[in-house]
Amino acid sequence: MNATIDRDSIKFSDAKLIVGLEVHVQLKTDSKLFCGCSTKFGSDPNTQTCPVCTGMPGTLPVLNQKALALSIKTGLALNCEIARYTKWDRKNYFYPDLPKGYQISQFDKPVCGEGFVEVKVPKSDQPSRKIRLERAHLEEDAGKSIHDESGKGGVSRIDLNRTGTPLLEIVTKPNIRSAEEAKAFLTELKQILEYIAVSDCNMQEGSLRCDANVNLHFEIDGETIATPIVEIKNLNSFRAAERAITHESKRQFKQWKKSGESIHDAPKQTRGWDDSAQCTTPQREKEESADYRYFPDPDLIAVIITDEEIETAKNSLGELPASLRTTLQSEYGLNEYDSAVIVSAGRKMVDYFRALADGSGKDGKPNGKMASNWVGQEIMRYLNEHNATIEDYPVSAETLADLLSRIVGGEVDQTRGKEVLAEMLSSGCDVQSAFDKLGIVKVDSGDLDALCQQLIDENPAVIEEIKGGKLKAVGSLIGKARQINPNVNPGVLREAILKIIGI
Amino acid sequence: MSVLDNSIEQLAQQVSSGDVSAAQCVDASIAQIRAQNDSLNVMISDCEDAARERAASIDAKIAAGENAGPLAGVPIAIKDGICTAGHVTTAGSKMLENFAPPYDATIVQRLNDAGAICIGKANLDEFAMGSSTENSFFGVTKNPWSTECVAGGSSGGSAAAVASGIAPASIGSDTGGSIRQPASFCGITGIKPTYGRVSRFGLIAFASSLDQIGPMARSAKDCAILMNVLSGHDVKDSTSARNDVPDFAADCEQDIKRLRLGICRQHFEEGLNEEVKASVEEAIKALESLGAETVEIDLPHTKHAVATYYVVAPCEASSNLSRFDGVRYTSREPAEKLIDMYSQTRKVNFGEEVIRRILLGTYSLSSGYDHELYKKASQVRRLIKNDYDAAFEKVDVIVGPTVPTTAFKIGQHAQDPLAMYLADIYTASANLAGVPGISLPCGFSSDGMPIGLQLQSNMFWESTLLKAAHQYQTQTDWHSKRPQS
């Protein structure tokens, strides 16, 4: 601590926030990382265990190749260098839910090396930034301890179902600069993981878990002063992550103003996020100082990853969210917001959108804007109301494209079109049957002229108003026309009336 | 004369042809346990009921004209650090006094499939940590040649079971000499195969990168027959080798003309007992008379083998034994705090030598010391392997003593762990390099204790070792000598 620094003059806005994230992703494999037990969530305690994952004497781990393949796939999607040589190490510590007394992890040769995720903070003017990744390594999960928290000294219970589940730990460099950016990073990461189908990313079930390392830097007289690093655990939602980082940065600022304690004065601390109190609180440490005594696991052989394996993984990636957003903007004319909405709804939604826009386009040009509006309003609302995904949506993209084409072609207007969609949703019929049921027929020019004449004859006052320059008054005629013939197209009708009265 | 005095080949043939029943083999073996175990303490437990059931089913199979396997009816003692389903497997520790694994080790399954009968679980140093079987929670195993002496270790029970006629063969494990040294002390033949040749699944780990299971028997030929059954890749052990398995027994019949024998100066330097030296030199002459040629070789880093071994092995052991924490199936010492439960449970249930090695290993892996200890030891290990690679450019087999002395007295090294560790001086380097080694009897000391000859070869050349040992045994009768019971 530098005694000459005048901390009183330093404001919170002078602090530079430094955040690094560690994200544990449970990989979507049927069986555990080193044995054949199921990874299904929510089964009765200790029903998904075997001698290997409970660490019984004499048993040996055997690597699940699928987990390795999913790790390589994830690494590629996150622009990571993929190791050609990767190996397993033991992380030694005692805890009742760690049956072997060590966790099989990766220390110095992780499967994925440095990479990055391009992140844009929503609703901000800042350009997108590359959040740099340090590494991603594969490891086995521990079990679950269930402690009696009544304070009455009840027994602790241990469930080893989760023990040995494959986790990929993704570690960023400390180059996240705000709580919003942290949230945006997590959102983008989750989207990528979902797109490449390597994880369920279900935070409630713990298949995506996040810890944040936070501290502050002050530039004072050309010198950088850093506050002690705090690791925040228990971040069970992205919102919690954002709030916890914001809260922690303020707490650290206050603490530093008071004590002046810098990174050199205190070791890294662990704090937990209390969602109900909206603050971070100190956590009990597992061990006084963590010396995990890493060494290579002699029960497993090192893995050589070949060009072919990397090529196979690359080919299985499909188009990633960032690239899809660009495509929706450049090829479908969507703006940043609309493209983000569609892409965030998942790969199937993007496929639906593209089929809809392509199928209702004209002259080889996709009908992007209109398709986006229908998807964003009609479809999303239906899916929200029914808590459904696009795969469950009863109207296919081809059918809906047929409807949009007819709207574009003037057979029916948007408002009536929505009634057609409602009919198709409720009865499951196609566009033509819905038209028939609703009595929609194209109004021919003779009928249209007759209708106009009738309106002109019956509403002389309105006609006078229009002739007097109040063109808006046509609206009341359109309303009347639709009572007489609901199939009439408002735009066409308006043109026809104005033409007849000579305006 | 007992049916068990026959060679394994003969015995299995007699059982298969119906001349001798598997039940008779079991009777003879159990009778021998009853006669010997009180004085020698060879077995921790017997498997009498299960063995009789197995024998009945083998006899029924043979009566029905079915093939009962190459080891039909052969009783085998299994080191109690190897898991046998449903039968208590203690690893010689109070910690596992009541532990009955729900699974068989892969080698137990292979033996069963070959028609062998597990007759009981042989004594060992606790978690195979020791060179005398004095570290067993279940008491010391005495040497059948002299009950004042140790049987060696850690597979002391397995060696004594064969020497005392309880079983014609046994299974041991060798981490730094634990098959070869007791084989030498008890006057039998025992082979530590190449690392990876035999599956380790079900072997309660001491030091995973060094541990290897192997057979112990009265002759090289018997060992070869067992090697045919034990060897081969196992999907349950990632470190088991996919190399082809030769017919070791058939290979024994080849001659050893122009076999190049390497004589390593370092194996004949100070510390080597004169009588042991004389017998080994005599054995080398016998091998030369069979057509082998001798070549001087140098293994300059072997002098560091024991030091290297006593860093690497405790490091791995400290981690392997972490699972014995009182949380799941071992006996638990009650305590208020979790950390006290751990330390009390481990203090009460682990013996002194095990605790010593856990401490050594934990220290050697600790941040700040790991570079000077674990990592440096791993580098020296590489140098030792390089020495072997260079030597095997020039020779086929390295020949020398297995141990510097004959079996020492019980209690002789009790106060001096370092002196005990030196019993591994000629054997530990093979484990560090992963190469195979065999010990076979080559004489007796003036006080009547057996002397062992060690042969080592390149990785996966067990055939050469077994062939040389077998050819030697066709010309000598040291392996046929039996202790007075």
Residue A3's contacts (CB-CB under 8 Å, 6 or more residues apart) are none
Task: Show the domain range for B80.
Answer: 3-256
Weakest-pLDDT range from A8-12, A238-242, B198-202, B245-249: A8-12
Q: Sorting pLDDT into bands at 50, 70 and 90, what band is B460?
A: very high
Mean pLDDT, all residues of chain B: 96
Q: What is the pLDDT of residues B55-84, one digit of tens each?
A: 999 999 999 999 999 999 999 999 999 999
B260 strand-pairing partners: B293
Q: CB–CB of B322 and A99 under 8 A?
A: no
> What SS3 state is found at B198?
strand
In the residue annotation, B289 being an active-site residue is answered as no
If one counts the domains in chain B, the total is 1
Cα-to-chain-centroid distance, residue B338: 37
Q: Which residues contact A195 (CB under 8 A, 6 or more apart)?
A: A77, A318, A320, A321, A346, A347
**Is B477 a member of any domain?**
no
In this complex, do B238 and A57 lie within 8 Å of one another by their Cβ atoms? no
Q: How confident is the model at residue B399 (pLDDT cuts 50, 70, 90)?
A: very high
Sequential pLDDT tens for chain A (503 residues): 455 677 888 899 999 999 999 999 999 999 999 999 999 999 999 999 999 999 999 999 999 999 999 999 999 999 999 999 999 999 999 999 999 999 999 999 999 999 999 999 988 888 999 999 999 999 999 999 988 877 777 788 999 999 999 999 999 999 999 999 999 999 999 999 999 999 999 998 999 999 999 999 999 888 999 999 999 997 989 999 999 999 999 999 999 999 989 999 888 889 999 988 999 998 865 445 579 999 999 999 999 999 999 999 999 999 999 999 999 999 999 999 999 999 999 999 999 999 999 999 988 899 999 999 999 999 999 999 999 999 999 999 999 999 999 999 888 888 889 999 999 999 989 999 998 888 887 777 788 888 888 888 888 888 888 888 888 888 888 888 888 887 787 877 888 888 888 77
Distance (Å, whole) CA B290 – CA B473 = 11
The pTM score is: 0.92
Inter-chain CB proximity A293 and B237 less than 8 Å: no
Instruction: Considering the candidates B16, B21, B29, B79, report the single residue annotated as catalytic.
Output: B79
H or E segment at A423? helix A414-427
Please tell me the predicted confidence (pLDDT) of residue A289. Answer: 56
Q: Note the pLDDT tens digit of each residue in B140-191.
A: 999 999 999 999 999 999 999 999 999 999 999 999 999 999 999 999 999 9
Gap from A307 CA to chain B (nearest CA, Å): 23
DSSP state of A213: E
* Interface contact flag, A295 B365, Cβ < 8 Å: yes
Catalytic-role residue among B21, B29, B131, B154: B154
Query: Which amino acid, residue B247?
Result: D
A-chain CB neighbours of B365 within 8 Å are 92, 293-295
Could you tell me the pLDDT band of residue B193, with boundaries at 50, 70 and 90?
Answer: very high
For residues A286 and A289, what is the distance between their CA atoms, to the nearest angstrom?
9
Task: Identify whether the C-beta of residue B435 lies closer than 8 Å to the C-beta of residue B456.
Answer: yes
Q: Does A54 touch chain B (CB under 8 A)?
A: yes
- Catalytic residue, from B93, B131, B136, B178: name it: B178
B392 within some domain = no
Tell me how close the Cα of A71 comes to any Cα of chain B, in angstroms: 20
Note whether residue B211 is domain-resident: yes
Residue A298, both tokens: 């002699």
Is B322's CB within 8 Å of A92's CB?
Answer: yes
* A233 membership: H or E segment, kind and range: strand A230-235
Chain A residues with CB-CB distance to B349 below 8 A: none
pLDDT, position B70: 97
Q: A284-289 — which CB contacts under 8 Å span 24+ positions?
A: A286/A93, A286/A95, A287/A93
A301 contacts B323? CB cut-off 8 A: no
Q: Is residue B323 part of a domain?
A: no
What's the rounded mean pLDDT across residues B230-237?
98
Q: Which helix (H) or strand (E) holds B184?
A: helix B180-186
Q: Which residues of A touch B235 (CB under 8 A)?
A: 62
Q: What was the pLDDT predicted at A1?
A: 47
Whether chain B has a CB inside 8 Å of the CB on A1: the answer is no
Instruction: Give residue-wise pLDDT tens across range B304-348.
Output: 999 999 999 999 999 999 999 999 877 799 999 999 999 999 999
Which candidate from B204, B209, B316 shows the least CB-CB separation from A58? B204
**Quick check: is B154 catalytic?**
yes
Q: Label residue A157 exposed, middle or buried (CB < 10 Å: 0-12, 13-18, 19+).
A: middle
Q: Chains A and B: how many Cβ contacts under 8 Å?
A: 100
The span from the CA of B284 to the CA of B292, in Å, is 9
Q: How far is B325 from chain A (nearest CA, A)?
A: 8
> How many residues does this entry show for chain A?
503
What CA–CA distance (Å, rounded) separates B64 from B67? Answer: 9
Determine, yes or no, domain membership for B328.
Answer: no
In a domain, B429, yes or no: no
Q: Per the CB < 8 Å rule, is B374 touching A90? A: no
In angstroms, what CA-CA distances link A490 with A179, A213, A434, A474, B452?
50, 60, 20, 10, 108
Interface test with A, best of B93, B109, B322, B431 (most A CBs within 10 A): B322
User: Is B79 labeled as catalytic in the residue annotation?
Assistant: yes
Interface test with B, best of A59, A103, A156, A284 (most B CBs within 10 A): A59
Q: Any CB–CB contact under 8 A between A58 and chain B?
A: yes
Sign of the CA dihedral running A128, A131, A137, A139: negative
Domain membership of residue B230 (yes or no) is: yes
Q: Identify the CATH number of the domain in which residue B77 sits.
A: 3.90.1300.10
Answer yes or no: is pLDDT of B437 > 80: yes
A91 touches chain B (CB under 8 A): no
- Residue B473 is assigned to a structural domain of this protein: no
pLDDT for residue A3: 52
Q: What is the pLDDT of residue B485?
A: 63
